[in-house]
Amino acid sequence: MSQPKIDRDELGLREGPLCREPWESYYILRRGILPCCYGNPIVAPMERWRETWNSSKLQEIRSYLSRGELSPYCRESLGCPIVQRVLAKERERQGTERATRPTWRRLINRLFFGLPARVYRKIFSRK
Amino acid sequence: MTTPAISFAAGWYDEEKNKQLAYRWMSSQAKLLITGLSPEKDYWLYFLAGHSFQSWKPTLTIKAQGKIVGQVEIEASFSSYAFCFPGGESVEVEFSLAQSQQVPGDPRELGIMVSDIQLLELSSLNKPCPLAGWYLPEQEGLSPAEPRGRWIKQRATLALPATPKEEVIIELILGHPFSIDNSPNMKLFVNNIEIRAENITGDRERYILVIPADSGQILQLELDRFFPFEVSGDSRSLGIFIHEINLYSPQKKGIVLGEGWYEEESSEFYPFNWMSKAATIFLSSHWLEKNRYFSFYAFSEYANLSQELKIYLADKEVDSFPLLHKWNFYSLDLQKYGLLPKTSRSGWRAIKFYLNKIFPTRFHPQDTRELGARFSWFSGHTDGELHQKTSEFHQNARLNYQEMMAGKTVLTSFPQNLGVDLYAQCNIKPPCVYCLWTEMKKLEGKYVHEVVDEKTLAEYGPFFTSARTLVNCSFGEPLLHPRLKEILEFCARFRKFIEISTNGQAFTSEIIDILVGKPIFLYISLDAACRETYAKIRNDNWDSIIPRLVELNEKRKKHHNLPKIYMVFMPMKVNRDDLEEYFKLCRRIEADALVLRPLLYLYEPKIEARRGGYHFVYKDELLPEEEIKEIIAECRKLSKKYKIPLANQFEFGQRQEPQAADYERSLVDFQRS
């Protein structure tokens, strides 16, 4: 008998954009308007709070996040723990990609050049 | 009019005492003389009786004025007995036993021990009163934390107070600690008419009875079995344990939670009640005369708005709406539902709540109850503007969620959290060593003198109305705002949660009085657990801060424990050794959580300061990732050790599933993401 399928996100906690802040939050501060508390730099001066909510900058941020990606603005907001986590994952992925370079490349290196792995890594990482 | 008096006539021995009560032995025959009675009324003779002969169950016959009014077997353990007899100016009551006992060395002829003889006249009772079938109050309840309850036998009676002009609600909290296989069936009768039957399975269950107006009534509790010694380990014939009996009069109580609600529990916000899938609320006619709107806070565990609350009035659905995630304020227009007070007499109107789905049991495996959603702070109001704004808030929250899930980039909805900048001046000069004060003041430019107060918030229009939480993010100390009281009262009127970060140096008795009782979440940034570390980060004012925090905590206890106190700790090199002491400090001031907040990451910062004999270099204070992980792990251990919930803001944006046992969970309920 098959087990009933469990909805792993039945509370709806994981669905939605990469970060919800630019939909759910908005900061009208003296130093300027921010789409989230970690936002950097400011997107508009304080007095423009009405029009900035749907400004092109916020639209762009929402557009990226709804696709599960960091916007260029988010990538500048390095104080944000979400950004830090995504960047750390990206770094990790890049590291893994290097570690698992294609077998043919490793074979060529061994046969023709006999270079130590660290030298080989340096050459390819420059590329 | 004379007061009834009871005097002991023939057949009673002198009073004796044991640890629990004072009593008299009677011989096989004994008499009481009762005077000062009204011939027009009926009376109940109540007493406790027992004896010290384990396997003996003598039959006691009670006669009043020569007529038998009752016969009952008396068991060894003290329990209550009650008999009704008609009044007269003077009544002689006779106690007679068919047998008596003799104890070696005691010349007396011993019958039974009798104690606490009382005369009850039902029309003069002002609270429910146990009659027959009750054992003595326990020294402790089923658990040491509970107040004293009483076991009843297989049958027991309870006299209800006279309520000739109003229907009352009786709340019975009862249960047993034994296996579910032994659960008895209980029938309840009022004046011999069966009103309901239940199987009692839990150790604490609530039963609500609406009792119509009458001048005197008897509630009978009848079980189909009792717990024998083999099950209970108790020589008494235990029926069920009565934890509490509460009576609610519509004149004195406006809102009573009916069945479907569990007992009140404490939480990170305010005491709350879990609702099961369906539940009833009773509103008194007096309350309905004064309130048009019924309001409450509700917490849904569902973040996708899929948990729906339906409102029924007399089995007719009158409203339904999705519950929002986490704690939110709700206001229901009772007039729109046609719920009007009963005009003829004082009584109750019931509204029923029904949830389309419950909180899945896999999230609370240790708690076997059927849990629906949490509710808190039931009250009424007449503020039409508050109701209107609350409706707008809910419409917006739903639209905001839909637009976000649809990936809309141009929004017709407004944000649910509004960051505000209340005040631009600070009382710490020079600024805290890590503060970006100079840079921020340059950025603020001409806006540094901009006044932001309650009028500004009102001008934000839908941005304010749509906000569930207002978050103050000023580079300045908000508690210094000259219109702090007005701002907080304005926010409280519209039931906004307010998050305020403070350096803790602005507290005065006046400011504390403004803060208490309001739904404010105070983030108090000390980052240090001792004078020395504090001086390295801020200044020498450490000694004046802690007494104010103690004062704040003491005062808020009288105001529903509001505001909430969140103690902020940003781990840095300078305070690395203060962590455990900071937890101790949190415990001392009974903080609601310790907030572990990252020092803002800056790319190659050039911030340095010499303070308190310490050279603070920002980039050196940013701890490496591995060390932060160690600190988080340490905090989790200390959180459990000191019973201080941990709010880990390093996990900002991570939407974790609820785990009831996890100490870190309760605190995130209020965090915005």
| Cβ within 8 Å of B, A 67-86 | 67, 78-82, 84-85
Task: State whether residue B304 sits within 8 Å of chain A by CB.
Answer: yes
Is pLDDT above 50 for B3?
Answer: yes
Quick one: pLDDT at residue A113? 65
| Mean pLDDT of chain B, nearest integer | 92
- Mean pLDDT for chain A overall: 83
- Considering only the beta carbons, identify the residue of A14, A31, A42 that sits closest to B655: A14
Residues 96-125 of A with CB under 8 A from B: none
pLDDT digits (tens, 9 = 90+) for A71-114: 999 999 998 989 999 999 999 888 766 555 666 766 676 666 66
Whether chain A has a CB inside 8 Å of the CB on B402: the answer is no
Chain B contacts of A67, Cβ < 8 Å? 407
Q: In the block, which residue shows the tokens 């939110």?
A: B328
* CA atoms of B516 and B559, how far apart (whole Å): 6
Q: Determine the distance in angstroms separating the CA of A90 from the nearest CA of chain B, rounded to an integer.
A: 16
The structure tokens listed for B394 are 């809910």
Nearest by CB to B655, from A13, A27, A45: name it. A13
The whole-angstrom separation of Cα B31 and Cα B111 is 13
CB atoms within 10 A of CB B541: 15
Answer yes or no: do B421 and A10 touch at CB < 8 A: no
Across the interface, of A10, A17, A37, the residue whose CB is closest to B419 is: A37
CB–CB of A42/A31 below 8 Å? yes
- Chain B positions touching A66 (Cβ under 8 A) are 404, 407, 409
CA–CA min distance B523, chain A (Å): 15
Q: Tell whether B417 lies on the interface with A, counting CB pairs under 8 A.
A: yes
Distance, in Å, from the CA atom of B660 to the CA atom of A13, rounded to the nearest integer, reads 16
Residue among B404, B413, B625 minimizing CB distance to A16: B404
Determine the average pLDDT of the residues in A58-62.
98
Mean pLDDT of B509-513: 97
Question: Tens of pLDDT along B83-107?
Answer: 999 888 889 999 999 999 999 999 9
Confirm if B591 and B546 have CB atoms less than 8 A apart. Answer: no
Residue B352 has pLDDT above 90, yes or no: yes
For residue A88, give the chain B residue with the closest CA.
B625
Which of chain A's residues have a Cβ under 8 Å away from the Cβ of B409?
58-60, 62-63, 66
Mean predicted confidence (pLDDT) in B388-400: 98
Distance CA B588, CA B530 (A): 14
pLDDT at residue number B317: 97
- Give the Cα separation of B310 and B397 in Å (integer): 18
| AA letter at A73 | Y
pLDDT in tens, B213-248: 876 689 999 999 999 999 999 999 999 999 999 999
Contact by Cβ (8 Å): B282, B306: no
Instruction: Detail the DSSP E strand segments found in chain A.
Output: 25-29, 32-34
DSSP per residue, B307-321: -EEEEEETTEEEEEE
On chain A, the residues whose CB falls within 8 A of the CB of B306 are: 12
Determine the pLDDT at residue B344: 57
Q: How far is CA B239 from CA B80, B154, B192, in A?
A: 14, 5, 20
Tokens of residue B654, six digits? 């991570």
**pLDDT for residue B624:** 92
pLDDT over 50 at B78, yes or no: yes
In A, residues 19-38, which contact B (CB 8 Å cutoff)?
19-21, 23-32, 34, 37-38
Q: Is B451 on the interface with A (CB under 8 A)?
A: no
User: Coil, helix or strand for A22?
Assistant: helix
User: What is the residue-wise DSSP string for B141-178?
Assistant: -SSTTSPP-EEB-SEEEEEEPPBTTB-EEEEEEEE-SS
- Residue A41: is the preceding peptide bond cis (ω within 30°)? yes
| Contact between B474 and A30 using a beta-carbon 8 Å cutoff | yes
CA distance B412 to chain A (A): 9
CA distance B87 to B342: 37
Going by C-alpha positions, the residue among B334, B248, B254, B247 that lies closest to residue B286 is: B254
Model ipTM value: 0.85
The CA R_g of chain A, rounded to the nearest whole Å, is 22
* Nearest-CB residue to B653 (from A31, A53, A81): A81
> What b/e readout covers B77-90, taking b as 16+ CB neighbours within 10 angstroms?
bbbbbbbebebbee
Contact state of A30 with B400 under an 8 Å Cβ cutoff? no
Q: How far is B380 from chain A (nearest CA, A)?
A: 29
Q: What is the number of helices (H) and of strands (E) in chain B?
A: 15, 39
Cα–Cα distance, A39 to A72 (Å, whole number) = 12
- d(C-alpha B225, C-alpha B228), whole Å: 9
Vertex B384 angle, CA B378 and B387, to 5°: 50
What is the least distance, in Å, from the CA of B577 to any CA of chain A? 24
Q: Name the residue facing B303 among A11, A17, A34 (closest C-beta).
A: A11
DSSP, residue by residue, B455-524:
HHHHHTTHHHHT-SEEEE--SS-GGG-TTHHHHHHHHHHTT-EEEEEE-S----HHHHHHHTTS-EEEEE
pLDDT at A27 over 60: yes
**pLDDT tens digit string along B15-66?**
999 888 999 999 999 999 999 998 888 899 999 999 999 889 999 999 999 9
